[in-house]
Structure 1
Amino acid sequence: MLQTAGLRPTRQRMALGWLLFGKGARHLTAEMLYEEATLAKVPVSLATVYNTLNQLTDAGLLRQVSVDGTKTYFDTNVTAHHHFYLENNHELVDIPDQHLALSKLPEAPEGYEIARIDMVVRLRKKR
């Protein structure tokens, strides 16, 4: 998969790839993946995890989803879909309705086109 995406399959990329893609579709932050790698005895730094996640995103193998200015998730499902963000759990979950659509899109400024729309619906427990 790494070679197909034009990335050299280093030992660290391979190990992180197994952790990322070996459990099906998931949403992880860099810190979550670093913790998994540490528990799995994969010797990587947090900087290497960030670099690898960004390289995999640039190669089209991951999708980056920003929840707010401080939290970014990496999604192994790169198909067009939207998300619920469970505020109480700090968890990102796919919205199951693939036919969800916005009724009106804004005009892109001159010289630009809309590349993708990421909708994140924030949820919290009722009080």
Structure 2
Amino acid sequence: MSDCPCGSRRAYAACCGPLHAGTPAPDAQALMRSRYSAYVMGDLDYLRASWHPTTRPADLDLGDTRATRWLGLEVRRHTVIDADHATVEFVARYKVGGAAAVRLHELSRFVREDGRWYYVDGTFPAK
């Protein structure tokens, strides 16, 4: 069994794999981790499906996925606002080709509709 890209230290088949196959995420943090794994794996279909339709971009380009190396995910905070709203603060690191590593620090908003969590949008906290 291979480790899940999200850094959970669980096997992909027992972590993000079922979500990528259509199982609803149990909470916003699980959805956020599964979205990170989808970026690592270049799974555009899952990224689109897990993005709320009101904020989903018309076109999603992951760039050169073969040249992108994902270095890790740190979930800093998962805040449940109410039964259908939550935020997740995270830092994801990656490199493209020989360039310096990029640090993406985001506070993401999530909403649950009809039993499914969706990514809505995010802000970038000041450094």
Same fold (TM over 0.5): no
Q: Which has the higher strand share?
A: 2
Question: What TM-score results when the alignment is normalised by the length of structure 2?
Answer: 0.26
Larger radius of gyration: 1
